[in-house]
Amino acid sequence: MDFQFYGANCISISYKSARLVIDDNLKELGKKTVVNKDDVALFTSNNHQIAPVGTKMTIDNPGEYEVADFSITGIPARAHTGEEKTHDATMYKITANDISVLITGHIYPQFNDDQLETIGLIDVLIVPVGGHGYTLDPNGALTIVKELEPKLVIPTHFEDKSLNYPVPQIPLGDALKELAMEPRETLAKLKLKSTDLTDVTQLIVLQKD
């Protein structure tokens, strides 16, 4: 399973001949979209730009989906600015090649029992850390890490001067200090096999493509 980061909360996950692109809102932030007609576009919020015409599939709601060799479960969640007991965001549990990934998106960092049961065991957690009311801050991200105990954490949505964020985001270095986690590696692309995972939670920084 391959992971690439494009800035903001946009990340791609590829396995065999299929590619998922999550939260490609880059056009709204002043950059070029990266999703293409052969991709499956996933959005953690219904408030997103329209995926390119001809995209294989767009998923922006809870549910069960099978795409090529990916199993995808959309899990209803409370947005980070949402009211209590509302479900105006969607997390995604993605499984392929014996690796399970959770994409949180911009959620409130507290899970109920039903969500925890659906999430189950997670190998890779992809979580925003930029804070300032725009998304999860490092404390919220750390709460999720402690709750789920993933084997690998990939932070997203931190300061990026090439993107026109409506709200400034926390620099990655500052976020990692608050997370109290040192990166295991900084990579342009993560090529992950299940045998690469350890029982100790580690953090990988992906450089923007």
Sheet with 202-206, edge to edge strand ranges: 63-67, 70-77, 89-96, 99-103, 124-128, 152-156, 202-206, 183-187
7 close to 26: Cβ distance less than 8 angstroms: yes
94 close to 33: Cβ distance less than 8 angstroms: no
The token duo for 21 is 């692109």
pLDDT reported for residue 80: 80
Residues 184, 177: Cα–Cα separation, whole Å:
14
Angle at 5 between CA 21 and CA 56, to 5 degrees: 15
pLDDT reported for residue 53: 55
Nearest to 140 by CA among 173, 166, 179, 103: 179
Residues 135, 166: Cα–Cα separation, whole Å:
12
130 close to 178: Cβ distance less than 8 angstroms: no
pLDDT reported for residue 78: 92
pLDDT reported for residue 52: 57
pLDDT reported for residue 47: 64
Sheet with 57-59, edge to edge strand ranges: 57-59, 40-42, 18-22, 10-15, 2-7, 190-191
Query: Can you give the pLDDT of all 209 residues of the chain as single tens digits?
Result: 999 999 999 999 999 989 999 999 999 999 999 998 899 999 998 765 555 555 788 999 999 999 999 999 999 999 887 777 777 899 999 999 999 999 999 999 999 999 999 999 999 999 999 999 889 999 999 999 999 999 999 999 999 999 999 999 999 999 999 999 999 999 999 999 999 999 999 999 999 87
What is the 8-class DSSP label of residue 178? H
Alpha helix segments (H runs only) across 102-137: 113-119
Residues whose CB falls within 8 Å of the CB of residue 94, separated by 6 or more in sequence, listed in order: 13, 20, 70, 71, 72, 73, 100, 101, 102, 103
Domains of the chain in sequence order: 2-206 (3.60.15.10)
pLDDT reported for residue 169: 96
Nearest to 20 by CA among 43, 47, 48, 50: 43
Nearest to 165 by CA among 3, 9, 47: 9
pLDDT reported for residue 69: 92
